Structure 1
Amino acid sequence: MRDKQHERPTAASPGFCGRYADDSGHLVDFLARTEDELRAVPPKGERDERQTAVADEAHRTARRARHRFVEAHAEHVYRELTDDRKAFLRLDDLAYQASELLPGLVPTKERIEEERALPQGAKDGREIDQGIFFWGLLRSCAAGRHLMDAMRRPTLRALAALPGFRDNGYVELGLVSVRRDGDVAEVTVDNHEFLNAEDDLLVADLEVAVDLVLLDDSVRVGVMRGAPMRHPRYAGRRVFSAGINLTRLYQGDISLLDFFLGRELGYINKIFRGITVADAAGDWLDEPVEKPWIGVVDTFAIGGGAQILLCFDHVVATDEAYFTLPALKEGIIPGAANLRLPRQAGTRLSRQSILHNRRIDAASAEGALLVDAVVAPDRVEGAVSAVAEELANPAVIANRRMLNQHEEPADVFRQYMAAYALEQSRRLYSSDLVANLERTWISRNR
């Protein structure tokens, strides 16, 4: 019986007419049939060549249908999920509610958790369906703008921790701590086991930390710096970031929503554009809460660490610090660096960095395009204090807002993130990325 099912051609793509009620019904029926075909074959690692071909074709036709549907109806779906944009839902809430509203459009939470338990190379790539969904939402002006606004709202963890932080001026969040000193708050990253490489847990802690800095009225300037490491090679030295946590990615424990999309639309966008708070001051002009930020790089900022620097208002680095963007070597897209690096470093240097993993030393002429101050290691604290005093000027907020609006309009970022959602989700399940992870994992074990 199974052999006959394998020999059946995959059902034709559903015929859409442009009316949401009809198209959604056709889509759900069609996706149920393709899901039946996928259930009829073994898990990915156990398929023979013919079964692999059947599964691949089922995914292809299903994704083609999802893509066509959200291209036409993303805004309608978003209105239904958010009660006509009255509710502000984060990425995971949107995705899992959409899986109930239109079964098959995106994977259920249970299906994602099943895949999460597998190594990256053993997954069926269900997150690609989430990438298609958020491509559709973000490319819609109305839905995309509302979604970005929702992602810039304070997290519940931050709101719960805020009273204690206001009283004590310090909070420990797990992999991140925040300490207030006068009107400056320093976010210290201490994921020492992985040299401050980012994963889902660290991204979640960083967003809470950024929220607290922005929500505390007594803070005028935010600072982000790596903690002294306990790793033998860097013992006692501060590390800003080693990029993405490749160990977690190999293990299948880096998610599209909580890491790749949540990181860009969450804490990094909050650093760049501030947070949105409903009725923040009851004023006639509803403005985001913004503050200037200083990044401090003592040794290196690799990958995602280099990406974050592009959003800071001032970067202080030691004369031994360097930056790289090895995303191409890893097989992924380096966040929003493709959008932001060219305007800071120029097209040629950007292509050399992204396509050829060129190392940029802070003390070099090229480094001057990315760093504002290069100092000896023993002069970092003094340099940070001096620039923080300058950035505490109340007029800085209005000026940084105008600079950011001109350099990167919100709609330009939204359109980039729509494309990023689709492209990054596909890269995560590409054969070359899996092969790169396998080689890296084997090499590290040796």
Structure 2
Amino acid sequence: MALKITVIGTGYLGATHAAAMAELGFEVLGLDVVPEKIEMLAQGRVPMYEPGLEELLSRHVAGIEGSSGRLRFTTSWEEVGAFGDVHFVCVNTPQKHGEYACDMSYVDAAFASLAPHLREGALVVGKSTVPVGSAARLAAGLPEGVQLAWNPEFLREGFAVNDTLHPDRIVVGVESERAEKLLREVYATPVGEGSPFVVTDFPTAELVKTSANSFLATKISFINAMAEVCEAADGDVVKLAEAIGHDERIGKKFLRAGIGFGGGCLPKDIRAFMARAGELGADQALTFLREIDSINMRRRGQMVEMAREALGGGSFLGKRVAVLGATFKPDSDDVRDSPALNVAGQIHLQGGQVTVYDPKGMDNARRLFPTLGYADTALDAVRGADVVLHLTEWREFRDLDPAALGEVAGARIVLDGRNALDAVKWREAGWTFRAMGRPRA
């Protein structure tokens, strides 16, 4: 008999996973404790922007004309327990307020609510990013006859649907052959297409996501540190990145210097990793991550100072600043810990008249920073601006016509905080162009 799957938590990770499991042919029941979210999902709509996700939901949500009907949503733990053979836990693990450590309260609550309703033989699968050692603790709280596995997620915002349906690897931490067998059945399609299936113990599976994010953060902060050196030595970090990227041991990806990383994963994951290493007595192993975090945060302040210098080196008071970008990365509406909004907010607090435009993140940005100015288009944001800051590398911004913008700008000064714009094109249109870690001309 075909496996039935439940997904606990229907945020960014859970909604995507539920829709993908339905796409793979399983009957799926998603649960959330927020009724408004369930109502929205039941209509085939999502509370966030993720390319392709609403289309995928609409293909499978029960009650939508033409759908497979394989995907339903509920707020009932009893219904989930009675329905599912495999239960994926996909709830959030934010950073604790005022601490580096991970807040496990949502995961703990999900396990506590699910456990009394589980049938014997059920498999619970954790996908949340948790401190190493959590799986063993959570397994001890499950009823007899119920097993646990840990299956970390590796979704990239903007590519989540593809990353779930065609993962570059599937990692499962298991303690029995039966748990491995069930997960091989769940992921039979992507494994058949060539996705590697890596079987580990609990601690290793828990460490994979935080290790990967720490390595990625290190690579990004390394090239940003090199940008600082290039600025001091009048070098060109773009050419430097190109040259070292040809080394196969290093690779070209994530070597674009700029204002650094943000979002809901990398910053909190590396901080939680440091905190957990300290608890385990291995804090010295990860002290380098403190400097990675410091380099990353420093870039935001350096962008503010670059803007101040471009405006003559004095106060921002009375100066009009256009900010292109609000989300922490393109192809997302996520503004959590967004470097772009952080820079905009700093300039605003120092007296600048800041106007922001972003293709998808405007509503979330307004909720987070209601005192900033917002424009409906890039052209409107730039109108009358004394300086233009490019802070999120949306394709729309790369395709802008510098000549058209120049006609409405107060001054033709652009600062590229992502090293993604064509410097030659902007300079030919009469703009003073500066980018982080690059020569002035």
TM-score (norm 1): 0.30
Structure that is richer in helix per residue: 1
Tell me: higher relative CO, structure 1 or 2? Use CA pairs within 8 A at least 6 residues apart.
1
TM-score (norm 2): 0.30
